Amino acid sequence: MSYGQTEAVRGIDFEVMAGEVFAFLGPNGAGKTTTVEILEGYRDRTGGEVSVLGEDPQHAGRSWRERIGIVLQEGRLDPYLTVRESLGLYAGYFRSPRPIDEVIALVGLEGKAEERARKLSGGQQRRLDVGMALIGDPELLFLDEPTTGFDPSARRQFWDVIAGLRDLGKTVFLTTHYMEEAQRLADRVTIIAAGEIVARGTPEDLGERESQAATIRYRAAGREVKVETTTPVETLHELTGAALARGEDLEGLEVTRPSLEDVYLELTAAAEVGE
Amino acid sequence: MTGLALVAHQFRYDQKAFWRNPASVFFTVMFPVVLLLIFGTVFGGQTVDVRGGIKTTTYYVPAIITLSIISATMQSLAMSLVIAREDGRLKRGRGTPMPPSVFIAGRIGNSIVVALIMMALLALIGRVAYGVSIPWSQLPDVVLVLVVGAAAFACLGIALTAAIPSQDAAAPIVNALLLPLYFLSGVFIPDDQLPSGVIHFADAFPIRHFFEAFFDAYVPAAGGGAGVSWGNLAIVAIWGVVGLLLAVRFFRWTPRSG
């Protein structure tokens, strides 16, 4: 899959199960948007096979578009249409749209229905954007970096909306560069860096990686001691046992584990160096 | 919804968005009105050596209506579509089952209706302020010329978007094309004051032909209406078809910048 002169992504291979929230995680420029645009049918690939809901997006037609919803990374709204009108316009494009009021409630914009898009906050506009992608009652929803530029409270509200979609049984393909977002929302995570997949699994699987290595730090005789271990409980037991036997304290004792964020940064940094 | 019902649906929302947008209302509606009032006030009471001598205001009413039709179609569509394209709004729409032809047809329909409203408004102002009679008896001809011209200039406006790289470039490019042609085609400066070389040059572009066709339909010649100037109208229609073909070939739904 490439465009222009450089190959943006290559040799990537993944499956998304019906009804799951699948996070495609990676830093900016990793090839996330290229991949998602190929899946959405916006971009033609130069090689490889792609099947979305049983069809090749490159050749899929109107009936296929009835079954998907797309939230673009950047997609402003018509500033002069209200929430209800924006949804009404899009509802007309689909054969069997969801009721507009239901969608307004789904994205938490009750009370804003008659407000014009330009009067909404950034987070509210984004939720309307999701509403417009949901109005056709799609089986599969694409969300491309939906919370970039959000403040923490807007991000949390948005996450609640996405969590609600899972309960509706929608399949969600989420691209993001926020580890926390993937961790919070996704059933499965695939990490991409420099156009290649560097890790995949459930957030818990990826979390296990971290539990394998812990760092124990303390001071002894004024010196900083750092012990890296994959069996922190055992190691700690030995260290504290020995210290007690000597009648000493382990000053400033702490056990730390790399956060999922650290694991992610390490993985993606390695891929970028290896490029 | 399918076919025409969907076009009507799109049209309904385009109308709402158009009339609520202060920029489109100002440039498309207010600007021609102000121009007519300025020309009518400054040059009123003089005569133009066209058709053996007519009042300046009789000349300027169809001239400014011509401008307003081009403004409501070509100018307004080129600008609003480039803005929507660069905003990602066209891309979002393209991701739905909406057929592209429906969207385009809705926009063209919207611009033709705005052009009709502009004609009615300017004709009324011309009648009330300057006593320029409304050509009721030729109304079918006038509307026919307007609709053909409006559709043609709408297609040209859609084609033009392919040559506009960004939102910022839209207004300069559109104005750089249209403003000189308004002058050279006799819209701002009456025919009798333009050297024939200038008119020959302007004849290479559609504005002059459209202006002539509209003028002939709107201003009845002494001793019977000039009616429809089919030659001029055909040239305008051909420009429109060329615009449509270019639009089909080169129109983009995705942003060009970024």
Note the pLDDT of residue A166.
85
A63 interface with B at CB cutoff 8 Å: yes
Note the pLDDT of residue B225.
54
Residue A135, pLDDT above cutoff 60 = yes
Residue A3, pLDDT above cutoff 50 = no
Mutate to test the interface with A, among B2, B6, B96, B253 (most CBs of A within 10 A): B96
Q: Both tokens of residue B178?
A: 């249209």
Alpha carbons B62 and B214: distance in angstroms, whole number: 7
- For chain A, the domains span 21-201, 208-273
Alpha carbons B105 and B127: distance in angstroms, whole number: 33
Q: Model-level pTM? A: 0.87
Q: Both tokens of residue B255?
A: 């942003």
The alpha carbon of residue A264 and the mean position of all alpha carbons in its chain are separated, in whole angstroms, by 13
B49 interface with A at CB cutoff 8 Å: no
Instruction: Find the CB nearest A76 among B16, B89, B93.
Output: B89
Note the pLDDT of residue A2.
41
Residue A211, pLDDT above cutoff 50 = yes
Closest alpha carbon within chain B to A64: B97
Query: CB distance A70–B92 less than 8 Å?
Result: yes
A36 interface with B at CB cutoff 8 Å: no
Closest alpha carbon within chain B to A72: B92
User: Using CA of residue A139, residue A171, residue A32, residue A143, what is the dihedral sign?
Assistant: positive
Residues 6 or more apart whose CB falls under 8 angstroms from that of A99 comprise: none
Tell me the shortest Cα–Cα distance from B168 to chain A, in angstroms.
17
- For chain B, the domains span 3-250
Instruction: Find the CB nearest B97 among A42, A65, A81.
Output: A65
Residue A275, pLDDT above cutoff 60 = no
Q: Chain A contacts of B21, Cβ < 8 Å?
A: 79-80
Q: Lowest-confidence range among A5-9, A205-209, B239-243?
A: A5-9
Q: Chain A contacts of B95, Cβ < 8 Å?
A: 40-42, 65, 68, 70, 72
Helix B56-70 with B139-160: angle, nearest 10 deg: 40
Note the pLDDT of residue B56.
93
Query: CB distance B94–A40 less than 8 Å?
Result: no
Within 13 Å, how many C-alpha atoms sit on residue B238's CB side?
10
Question: What does the pLDDT profile of chain B (258 residues) look like in tens digits?
Answer: 678 899 999 999 999 999 999 988 999 999 999 999 999 999 988 999 888 889 999 999 999 999 999 999 999 999 999 999 999 999 999 999 999 999 999 999 999 999 999 999 999 999 999 999 999 989 999 999 999 999 999 999 999 999 999 999 999 999 999 999 999 999 999 988 999 999 899 999 999 999 999 999 999 776 555 578 899 999 999 999 999 999 999 999 999 875
Query: CB distance A68–B98 less than 8 Å?
Result: no
More confident residue, A126 or A28: A126
Q: Chain B contacts of A77, Cβ < 8 Å?
A: 89
Tell me the shortest Cα–Cα distance from A191 to chain B, in angstroms.
24
Tell me the shortest Cα–Cα distance from B224 to chain A, in angstroms.
47
Residues 6 or more apart whose CB falls under 8 angstroms from that of B72 comprise: B28, B111, B114, B115, B118, B150
Residue A5, pLDDT above cutoff 60 = no
Residues of B (170-229) whose Cβ lies below 8 Å from A:
none
Q: Lowest-confidence range among A171-175, A217-221, B205-209?
A: A217-221
B80 interface with A at CB cutoff 8 Å: no
Residue A4, pLDDT above cutoff 50 = no
Q: Lowest-confidence range among A45-59, A83-97, A149-163, B34-48?
A: A149-163
Eight-state DSSP code of residue A15? -
pLDDT band for position A194 (50/70/90)? confident
pLDDT band for position A131 (50/70/90)? very high
Q: Which fold has domain A21-201?
A: Rossmann fold (3.40.50)
